[in-house]
C-alpha cells in the first residue's frame, strides 16, 4: 500500500515538473527576442546557401545565380540608377526656400547614415524610416512632401544610400516595450499570408529564393533592403522601399496599405534589423 502511494506521489511530481517545464517553454517561445531572431534568420540563409558569401546576400537574385551575377557586374559599369544618383545629389544639396537643406535635418549632415535607418523614436513611440524622415524634413522646412513611391524620393534615398555603401546595417532596438512590439509586429506582417494568392513575404523570399516566379528570380529576404532603393527594369525606373512593399502586396492580389503605414514601417524595421552586419549596397539594380 505504502509502495503504491509512493509511486502515485512520484508520478504526480513528475507530471507537475513536466507541466512546469512546458509552461516555461511556452513563455520562452512567446517572448520577443530580436537578437535570437536575427541569429536564426541569418543562420537559415547561411545554411541554405552555404556557397554564397555572407555579404553577397545583399545583392538579391544575383547572389543566387552566377550567370545573372556576371551580367549584373557588367551592367554595373554603367548602372541604370546613375541618373537618379546625380539627381539625388543635386536635390540633397539644393537649399529649401528658407535657405536650409536636408543636411540640417540629419546627423552627420545626412552623409553615411543610411545604415542606421529605420530607427525607433522613443519620444514618438514609432519606427522612423529614412523616407519618412526625409518628408518630415521637407515639411518642417515649409516644403510639400514627396510621393513615397515616385522618382524624387527614390533619387534622394539613392544618394544617401550611396554615401553609406559598404557600411554594415546597424539597426538598434532600444530597451522599450513599444520598440519590441514594433519589431514583433513587423515580423508578424512578414510571415502573414495575404491576398487571393495566399502568399506571405516569406513564401517568396524565405521558402523560394533562387527559384523563379514567372521570369523573375526571387531574392532572399536576408539583406533585401540593404540594396534599396532599386532601379527595376520591370518598372523602367527607380523604386523606393515603399514602392517595393506596395507592389509585393498587389502581386499577391492584396490591396496595398498606404505607404509608410505602421505595418510597412514595422516590417522595414524587422527586415533591416535581421540584416544587421550586412553591408549597405544601395542603390541597386534589379531585372
Partner 1 sequence: MKRSLALAMLLALSLAPSARAADEADYKAAYAAAEAASKGAAGLRNQWTVTVSALAAAKKAADGGDFDRAVAAAKEAEALAQASIFQAKTEKEAWKAMEIR
Q: Which of the residues 68, 103, 248, 257 is marked catalytic?
A: 248
Using alpha carbons, select from 32, 36, 49 the residue that is nearest to residue 205: 49
Say if CB 155 and CB 87 are below 8 A apart. Answer: yes
Q: Give the whole-angstrom CA distance, residue 127 versus residue 192.
A: 20
Question: Which pairing describes strands 230-232 and 284-286: parallel, antiparallel, or unpaired?
Answer: parallel
Contact call for residues 264 and 130 (beta carbons, < 8 A): no
Which one, of 46, 138, 32, 29, lies nearest residue 92 by Cα? 138
Q: Is 194 annotated among the ligand-binding residues?
A: no
- Exactly one of 32, 254, 276, 287 binds partner 1 (CB under 8 A); that residue is 254
Is residue 193 within 8 Å of 273, Cβ to Cβ?
no
Select from 150-158, 164-172, 233-241, 247-255 the region that touches partner 1 (CB under 8 A). Answer: 247-255
Helix (H, G, I), strand (E, B) or coil at 194: strand
Residue 242 · residue 187 · CB < 8 Å: no
Q: Does 253 interact with partner 1 (rule: CB under 8 A)?
A: yes
Q: What is the DSSP secondary structure assignment for residue 56, as one 8-state letter?
A: G
Interstrand relation of 237-239 and 230-232 (parallel, antiparallel or unpaired): antiparallel
Q: How far is the CB of 124 from partner 1 (least distance, A)?
A: 21
Query: What three-state secondary structure class fits 213?
Result: strand
Closest separation between CB of residue 208 and partner 1, Å? 12
Closest distance to partner 1 from the beta carbon of 213 (Å): 17
Q: Which is nearer to partner 1, 45 or 162 (CB)?
A: 45
Stretch that binds partner 1, among 35-43, 118-126, 143-151, 209-217 (CB under 8 A): 35-43
Smallest separation, CB 170 to partner 1 (Å):
21
Place of cell 534589379: 286
Region of residue 194 (phi > 0: left; psi between -120 and 50: alpha; otherwise: beta): beta
Of residues 66, 36, 38, the one with CA closest to residue 51: 66
Size of the site for partner 1 (CB under 8 A): 24
- Annotation-wise, does 244 bind a ligand? yes
Q: Could you tell me which residues come within 8 angstroms of residue 79 by beta carbon, excluding any fewer than 6 positions away?
A: 231, 283, 285
> CA–CA separation, 39 vs 34, rounded Å?
8
Of 164 and 185, the one with the shorter C-beta distance to partner 1 is 185
Check the annotation: does 253 bind a ligand. Answer: no
205 annotated binding-site participant: yes
Query: Minimum distance from CB of 127 to partner 1 (Å)?
Result: 17
Q: Which residue, 44 or 83, has its beta carbon nearer to partner 1? A: 44
Among this protein's residues, is 76 annotated catalytic? no
- Residues 36-55 touching partner 1, rule: CB under 8 A, are 37, 40-41, 44
Does 105 belong to an annotated binding site? yes
In the region spanning residues 178 to 217, those forming contacts with partner 1, defined by CB under 8 A, are: 187-188, 191-196, 198, 200, 202-203, 206-207
Q: Give the footprint of partner 1 on this chain (CB under 8 A).
A: 37, 40-41, 44, 187-188, 191-196, 198, 200, 202-203, 206-207, 250, 253-255, 257, 263
Binding annotation for heme c? 105, 137, 201, 204-205, 248
Catalytic amino acids?
248
Amino acid at each position: 500500500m505504502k509502495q503504491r502511494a509512493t509511486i502515485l506521489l512520484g508520478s504526480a511530481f513528475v507530471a507537475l515538473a513536466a507541466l512546469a517545464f512546458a509552461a516555461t517553454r511556452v513563455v520562452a517561445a512567446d517572448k520577443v527576442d530580436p537578437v535570437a531572431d536575427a541569429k536564426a534568420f541569418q543562420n537559415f540563409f547561411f545554411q541554405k546557401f552555404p556557397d554564397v558569401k555572407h555579404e553577397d546576400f545583399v545583392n538579391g537574385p544575383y547572389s543566387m545565380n552566377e550567370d545573372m551575377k556576371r551580367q549584373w557586374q557588367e551592367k554595373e559599369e554603367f548602372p541604370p540608377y546613375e541618373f537618379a544618383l546625380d539627381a539625388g545629389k543635386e536635390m540633397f544639396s539644393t537649399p529649401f526656400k528658407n535657405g536650409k537643406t536636408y543636411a540640417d535635418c540629419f546627423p552627420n549632415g545626412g552623409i553615411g547614415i543610411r545604415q542606421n535607418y529605420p530607427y525607433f523614436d522613443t519620444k514618438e513611440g514609432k519606427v522612423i524610416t529614412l523616407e519618412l524622415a526625409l518628408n518630415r524634413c521637407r515639411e518642417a522646412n515649409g516644403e510639400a512632401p514627396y510621393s513615397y513611391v515616385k522618382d524624387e524620393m527614390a533619387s534622394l534615398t539613392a544618394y544617401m544610400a550611396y554615401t553609406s555603401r559598404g557600411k554594415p546595417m546597424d539597426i538598434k532596438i532600444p530597451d522599450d516595450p513599444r520598440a519590441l512590439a514594433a519589431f514583433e509586429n513587423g515580423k508578424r506582417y512578414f510571415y502573414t499570408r495575404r491576398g487571393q494568392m495566399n502568399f506571405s513575404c516569406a513564401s517568396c523570399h524565405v521558402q523560394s529564393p533562387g527559384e523563379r516566379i514567372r521570369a523573375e528570380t526571387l531574392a532572399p529576404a536576408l539583406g533585401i533592403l540593404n540594396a534599396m532603393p532599386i532601379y527595376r527594369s520591370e518598372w523602367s525606373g527607380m523604386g523606393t522601399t515603399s514602392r517595393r512593399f506596395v507592389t509585393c502586396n498587389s502581386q499577391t492580389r492584396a490591396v496595398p496599405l498606404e505607404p509608410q503605414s505602421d505595418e510597412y514601417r514595422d516590417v522595414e524595421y524587422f527586415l533591416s534589423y535581421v540584416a544587421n552586419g550586412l553591408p549597405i549596397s544601395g542603390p541597386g539594380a534589379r531585372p
